[in-house]
Structure 1
Amino acid sequence: MVKISIFDYGAGNIFSLQSSLQRNGAQVSIINDFEESSEVDGIVLPGVGNFDPAIISINKCKTGFSRFIEKNIPVLGICLGMEMLFEKSEEGQLAGLDIIEGEVLSLPKNLVKIPHIGWNSLEITDKKSKLFEGIPNKSWVYFVHSYYTKPKNSDIITSKSNYGVHIPASIEIDSIYCTQFHPEKSSTTGEKMIKNFINICKRSK
C-alpha cells in the first residue's frame, strides 16, 4: 500500500483531503514534523491556512522536507501548499521555501471578487502531465484562493484557468506536483487527480 503523509500546519480541517487519499487506496498519516515520516512514498502540503504561519510551521523542520525533495519523493502542493514553494508571496512578510523560482501575487481586487470561491474550467497545456492522465481538457475544478503563482519558468505550467487574470492552475517540476485548485473538493475530476498522484507515488517506490 502506498504511504502518504499530509503535513498539518495546524490551521484547519484537512479531513476531506485525508478521506480522498484513503478512498483511493493510500495509507495516510498526519504529521507536523518530517522526521515523523521517514518511510513514506509521498508528501501532501494541504491548501488550508495562511502564508506566514504555514511557513513558520514548515521552517521548523525544513531540513527534513529538503531531504524528501532531494530523494525525489513525490510532493503534492495544494493551493497554499503550492504557494509556499515559491520565493515570496504578497500575502506574507516571510520568505517562501524558494524551491520554485517565482512569486505569489494577489488576484486583482479591481477586477474580480476576492476570494475566488467556485468552479472554473481548466485549459490543460501539457498533454503529457502525469497528474492529468485520463482527464479531459476543459474539466471543471474547485478554487478557494485570493492569490496566484507566477513561476519564472512558464514551461512548468501544466494547466491554466482565468479569473480576471490567467492563473497557472497547476505546475509540475521534477517530483513536485502543484494545483492552485483543490482536487479533494473537485468531484470526480479531483478524485482522478488524487488517484493519479497515488499512482505517481507507487511508480516512484
Structure 2
Amino acid sequence: MSLVVIVDYGMGNLRSVAQALQHVKQDGQSIQISSDPATIDRADRVVLPGQGAMPDCMKALRESGLLRSVMDAAKAKPLFGVCVGEQMMLDRSEEGPADCLGLFPGEVIKFDPRLTIECGLKVPHMGWNRVKQCQKHPMWEGVADNAWFYFVHSYHANPQNPAHVAGETDYGVRFTCAIARDNIFATQFHPEKSADDGLQLYANFLRWKP
C-alpha cells in the first residue's frame, strides 16, 4: 500500500484536499491526514497545505513537531505545497515578516497596493485566473496551458531562480503561481477548488516519479 499523507499542523484546508485526493487516487494508494511525525516519515508522498498568516503558519509548524518530517520529505519524496504551503517553501515572507523553510531561494511579497488604485483590482486576489505554464513538467500533463485555477491570497512567491518558475498568472502584474524543482511542486492556487484541472493536477501528483 502506497501512503499519501496530508500534513496536519493546524493551518490547512485539509478536508477539501483529502477529498480531492480520494477522488483521483489509484488502486493501492491510501490517503491520510496526519499530525504524527512517524506517519509522515513513513509516507511515500506528502502534501503540505496552508492558510492564514505566514508567521502563524510557521509557528504552528514548528510547535507541532512536524518541521523535521517536512524537511526530510523535501529531500527525498514527492512533495506538493498548496497556497501558503507554496509560500512556505521560500526563504522569507514580507508577511510578519517571517522566515520560511528555505527550500527555494527567494521571498514572498505582497501585491503592490497600486493594483487597487490604478487597475481597480482587489487585494486579496480572490477568484479564477488563467495559469501560464512556464516549463514542461509531468505535473502539467493533461492540463491545458492557460487553464483556469482558483486563487485566494494577498502575497505571492518571488523566487530568485527563473528555472524554479513552473507557472505564472496575470493579475495586474505577472506573478509566479507555481514553483518546482527536483521532487517538489507547489502552487499558490487551490487545486482542490479548481474543478477538473485541479483534480488532474492531484492525479498527476499521485503518479509523479521525480
Query: How do 1:135-150 and structure 2 match up within 5 A?
Result: 135-150=143-158
Residue 50 of structure 1 aligns with an amino acid whose one-letter code is A
C-alpha contact (below 8 Å) 1:2/1:198 kept by paired residues: no
TM-score (norm 1): 0.91
SS at match of 1:140: strand
C-alpha RMSD over aligned residues? 1.6
* Alignment-derived partner of residue 19 in structure 2: 19
1:112-133 deviation digits (Å, cap 9, x = unpaired): 311111000111121x211101
Query: How do 1:1-205 and structure 2 match up within 5 A?
Result: 1-11=1-11, 13-25=13-25, 26-59=29-62, 60-70=65-75, 72-111=76-115, 112-126=121-135, 128-200=136-208, 203=209
**Deviating 4+ runs (over 6 angstroms):** none
In 1: Cα distance, 2:195 partner to 2:207 partner: 19
Residue 68 of structure 2 aligns with an amino acid whose one-letter code is T
SS at match of 2:114: coil
In 1: Cα distance, 2:13 partner to 2:163 partner: 33
C-alpha contact (below 8 Å) 1:107/1:146 kept by paired residues: yes
In the alignment of these two chains, the number of paired residues is 200
Residue 49 of structure 2 aligns with an amino acid whose one-letter code is P
C-alpha contact (below 8 Å) 2:14/2:33 kept by paired residues: no
Query: Which ranges in structure 1 are unaligned for 5 or more consecutive residues?
Result: none
In 1: Cα distance, 2:56 partner to 2:186 partner: 20
In 2: Cα distance, 1:76 partner to 1:136 partner: 20
TM-score (norm 2): 0.89
In 2: Cα distance, 1:134 partner to 1:52 partner: 36
> Which stretch of the first structure deviates more once superposed, 4-13 or 156-165?
4-13
C-alpha contact (below 8 Å) 1:107/1:164 kept by paired residues: no
C-alpha contact (below 8 Å) 1:159/1:170 kept by paired residues: yes
In 2: Cα distance, 1:69 partner to 1:50 partner: 22
1:129-178 deviation digits (Å, cap 9, x = unpaired): 11101111111111111111100101111111111221112111110101
Query: Which ranges in structure 2 are unaligned for 5 or more consecutive residues?
Result: 116-120
Q: 1:57 to 1:35 in 2, by over 3 A?
A: farther
Query: C-alpha displacement at 1:12, in angstroms?
Result: 5.2
**Which protein has the bigger helix share?**
2
Query: C-alpha displacement at 1:64, in angstroms?
Result: 2.2
SS at match of 2:20: helix
Query: C-alpha displacement at 1:34, in angstroms?
Result: 2.7
Q: 1:47 to 1:11 in 2, by over 3 A?
A: closer
